[in-house]
Every structure is written in C-alpha cells, then in structure tokens.
Chains A and B, each alone.
Chain A
Amino acid sequence: MQALYAQLLVGLINGSFYALLSLGLAVIFGMLNIINFAHGALYMMGAFVAYFLLNLGGINYWWALIIAPVVVGVFGMILERTMLQWLAGLDHLYGLLLTFGIALIVQGVFQNYFGSSGLPYSIPDQLKGGVNLGFMFLPIYRGWVVIFSLVVCLATWFLIEKTQLGAYLRAATENPTLVRAFGINVPRMITLTYGLGVGLAALAGVLSAPINQVRPLMGADLIIVVFAVVVIGGMGSIMGSIITGFALGVIEGLTKYFYPEASNTVVFVLMVVVLLVKPTGLTGRAA
C-alpha cells in the first residue's frame, strides 16, 4: 500500500503541474486565440531562473518563487509585444507555428549551454524531511507543492471569475471591440494576460526544480501531455482545467502503480476515449 500512496502523491504532483500549465494555456487562449506552444519552454525557463538565482546570486527558493515568474512573465510580455500581437486576425495555426518556433529557439539555446542532463536544485531547508502520516511517509516538499499549486490555481480562478479585473478579462474574451469602446485598454490587457499565463508556467517550473531537476528539455514532452489534458478538459472553463489537470495526474499515478508500462501513454489513451465518447471534450463546447 505504501507504494500505492507514494504513486498517488507523485500523481498529485504531476497533476499540479498539469493544472498550472493548462490553466495558463486556457487563459492565454481565451484572450489571444493562440495555443502557446512555448509554454513548456517557459516552464523550463522558470526552473532555470531559480537555478541561476541560487547559484549565481545566492538568492533562495522563496525569493525564486516570486522572482522567476516575474522575470519569465516579463520575457513573455516582450514576446507578446514584439511578435504575437502581429498575428491578431490571422488563422489560429500561425500562433501555434510562431510559438513552436520560439520554443525551439529557447530550448535550443539552453541545450547548447547546459546539454541535456539535469542540474540539481536542492529542496529549501524549511521543507526538508518528512512526516509519518501513519499510512505513508510524506516528504514535506511534495506535500507543499500540491497544496501551494492548489492555492495558486484557486487564486487564479478567483481572480478571473470573481473580481472586477477578471470581469473585464472575460468580457474582452467575448467581445474585445465592445470592451475597448468602454475605454478599457484591451491590448494592454492582452499583454498582461500573456504575462500571467506564462508566469504560472514559470511558477510550475520553480516548483518542479527540486523534484525533477533542471533540464533544458524538461518542458518539451510535458507540453504535449498538457495539450492532451486541454483537449480532454476543453479550454472554456478555468475550474475545468484545474480539475482535469489534477484528475489526470492522479489517474497517471494510479496507472504507474497498477500497470507501469502504460504510465506514459495513459493520458493520451484517455484523450482518445473521451474523443470517441464525446467528440467535443468534457466541457462540451464545440470548437
């Protein structure tokens, strides 16, 4: 049973990353009508920023949790201002191609300097060790990742669904022209939205650095799984992304325990099943 709980925990952690990443993809897609293929590369950048902060500046994990998303968010906003904004009005596929190109550039540059092997990033002192819950041993850092991610996801949901700013954002998603007519600076909101989505990816990167090591290609395969998550859950609902993300992580964890051979394909297989049963995805919006 110990092993089952351990795999469930790993599943929850992966689920946290799926949730944070698919959430960002959904928010960005809502405003920019772009599927951000660079999301995995920016997640990796988040982890690398944390690594640089620690090893070059001696700045610890807690600061990295704040600084890395800001740095990567600003980088993302620069990308949006200099490139993505020119794609408004074009076919969706150009956004996919452009961000795929950006992902290749970012990953290629990092691979060139850091190879393909992982760089270690140690768990901060405050989160070292673990607690015995009676039925399993819980490493504190892993518990922290799950709970912190959940809090961030819910905070993002609250920001978008329950605040004034979120209301503008949702309105601009539906009808940008009308919202502009009310005197709201929609282009700036688009830039900030991209920064927010990308910042969430960078945050996930910092969280994963002590668990998965810091590697240039850490986001490359992950983003494809997240795409499958997005296809299953649809991008229409924020809460849908969060729940689907965590749920798929848990299912993946269970698969690792019961049938490890299928653990890296289970999310894709589930996507196929969902598409066969309900071609529009779980949230049911046609797109």
Chain B
Amino acid sequence: MSALTDDTLPMTPRAMRDEMIVFAVMATLLAAVPFTGIYPFFVMQALCFALLACAFNLLIGYGGLLSFGHAMFLGTAGYVSAHALKVWGLPPELGIVVGVAAAALLGLVTGYISIKRQGIYFSMITLALSQLLYFLYLQAPFTHGEDGIQGIPQGHLFGIFDLSKPLVLYYVVLVGFLAGFLLIYRTINSPFGEVLKSIRENEPRAISLGYKTDQYKMLAYVLSGTLAGFAGSLKVFVAQNASLTDVHWSMSGEIVLMTLVGGLGTIFGPVVGAFVIIAMQQYLAGFGQWVTVIQGVIFVSCVLLFRRGLVGELAHLLRRSL
C-alpha cells in the first residue's frame, strides 16, 4: 500500500541487537566529541536538529503523516522557554518543561484540527497552521517581532550544572538528545508503534480490525510535536535566542529535508541527515542563496534517485534495519 518503506523488516532479536550496537557506537562517538577539537557549538546545534528530525520521522516514517509545519513546535517551544527563562526568571529545568508543555498543547489543538484529513490535505493544513502561527508571532509583543528574544540567560540546571560552561551544556544537550531518541525508539517498537505502522500500510484494514486509527494518529502527532518542542527548548540554551526563522516554513522544509536525506522510516537516518544538512549549511554559508538551490537539488535528487535516503540505502545493502 504505502511506498514509504518497501522492505519493512520484522523486529527480530538480531535486528534489536544490531540497533543497540549502532546506538552504543553513536552515543560513544558523540560523548567523545569535546575531546576531538570539533567545534562543540556545531555539534550541539546538530543534536537539536537531529532530535527534531527524529520526532518528525516518528510521524512520517511510522505513521505515514507528512507534517509540513513541524517548525511550529520548534518555534513555539523556543519562544515559550525563552520567555520563561528571561522574563519570568524560571530555572532551566522549568523553562524546558513550560516550553515542552506549550508544544504538547499546540499538538493537541492543531492535531484536533488536522488529523481527520488524509494524505496531502494533512500536509497542506499543517503548513497553513504553521504559517498562521508565524504571523501571530510576528505581531505578538512577547516575541519582539523581527528581533526575536535575545540574550537568554542559561542559568544552572537543577541548581547544579552551570549551562554557561560549553562543556556542561554539551553533555546536557547530549543527554537530552539521547533520552528523546530512546523514547522514540521505544515508541516505534511498542505495540502502539506496531499499530501505527499498520495504519501507515493499510488504514482501512486497521480500521476493520477495530483500531480507532484517528486516536492512534493523534497520539503519534502529539508525541512527535512534544518531542520537536523539546528540541526547540534545548536549542534555546545553545543559540541563546528564539527568533522567527524557527517558525518559518523554510525551517519546516529543512526538517523534511534532513529526514529525507537520512532516510524516512529509518531509526538512525534523521540523525545522519541532520548532521549532513547542518554541516552543509556551515560550510556553504558563504555561498548565499546558492545554499537554497543546493537544498532544492538535494530534495529533487533524493526523491528521484534515493528514496530510501543514506541510512535506508545502507540498510538495504546490508539487509538490516537501521
């Protein structure tokens, strides 16, 4: 039915073991980054986007729902966290909680509006909703319009960890990312995840088996939005600002691009995709608008030539699920 994944493999103990090995390697490599001389700011930024792309992938790769407005969760959580930290003076952990709660609430509201419509309409509705929010944030006083919220205090997490120290911040972001990643991994392999996949493959059949598919899709959507919001709140500490670019449709496009490059419906694909795209933006920053053109070319070539994405192609070659 769906063309998303033409070779979905059943979850075997071996596949599970492979994935845990890859996860361990990934976690070790990321934990070693501060000792390699790689610019940590870059990696922290990439980690936030990787979590965002993983959250997005939960929805499209396993639920078959293409949200073209996922930047609204990133931006909303970012603005709310930033406002909570700077204006209300909340400690970091509460700032994150407030931001994530805002994203979850947004997920409930926008999900209620959009989830009943199928396929392409769902994408258009989510895009339109995120554009609506973009204009609201452009006009709302607390976001400071074009300037954004700047100079956000990083503070002490749980009163202990000084987030203004790059090394501490790095490990906090890493732990946040790994926790989010594991939560998504657990969700995908839970009974809930299996039902979600069955809806992706054949929704009428899932309905005929007695599943209330709208409720499953809604839960996946809210979960995905909440985790995307978590990425947005973490990003506030890294970038120390919250601005309109995070809510813009081009950001939603980038999230889609990262996931597509890495591989829709693969576990590690979005992480790889996020690092590739962020690195590309970093190195090509001097080329101005050509970056947009290159992103477009990647979109086109991914859709036409490598629909499985980098990790998906690798998994196909190795006949493993990654």
Contact = CB atoms under 8 A, between A and B. Distances in A.
Interface of A: 29, 35, 83, 86-87, 89-94, 96-98, 100-109, 111-112, 220-221, 224-225, 227-228, 230-231, 261, 264-265, 268-269, 271-272, 275-276, 279-281, 286-287
B57 to A, nearest CB: 13
B59 to A, nearest CB: 12
Given A104-B296, A108-B289, A231-B121, A94 B3 contact: yes
Contacts of B64: 91
5 contacts: A93-B120, A105-B293, A228-B124, A280-B117, A281-B117
Interface residues of B, number: 46
Given A108-B292, A224-B128, A271-B125, 5 more contacts: A35-B123, A83-B300, A94-B303, A102-B300, A106-B296
Interface string B122-148: 011101110110011001000000000
B125 A275 contact: yes
Contacts of A272: 113, 129, 132
B174 to A, nearest CB: 30
A87 B120 CA distance: 15
A103 B249 CA distance: 13
Contacts, number: 133
Contacts of B303: 87, 94, 97-98, 101
B120 A92 contact: yes
Interface of B: 2-4, 60, 64, 66, 68, 113-114, 116-121, 123-125, 127-129, 131-132, 135-136, 139, 249, 253, 256, 260, 288-293, 295-300, 302-304, 307
A284 to B, nearest CB: 13
A237 B122 CA distance: 19
Nearest to A97: B303
A251 to B, nearest CB: 15
B296 A96 contact: no
A102 to B, nearest CB: 6
B304 A83 contact: yes
Contacts of B304: 83, 86, 98
Given A83-B300, A93-B123, A224 B131 contact: yes
A175 to B, nearest CB: 20
A101 B296 contact: yes
Contact of A105 (B3, B121, B288, B297): B297
B290 A224 contact: no
Contact of A276 (B113, B120, B299): B113
A105 B295 CA distance: 8
B249 A224 contact: yes
Contacts of A269: 132
A112 B289 contact: yes
A261 B121 contact: no
Contacts of B136: 265
Ranked nearest first, the 4 interchain pairs of A and B with the lowest CB-CB distance are A101-B299, A104-B296, A105-B296, A108-B292
A108 B119 contact: no
B289 to A, nearest CB: 4
A269 B135 CA distance: 11
B298 A101 contact: yes
Contact of A279 (B68, B116, B256, B291): B116
B289 A98 contact: no
A29 B121 CA distance: 12
A96 B307 contact: no
B119 A92 contact: yes
B118 A231 contact: no
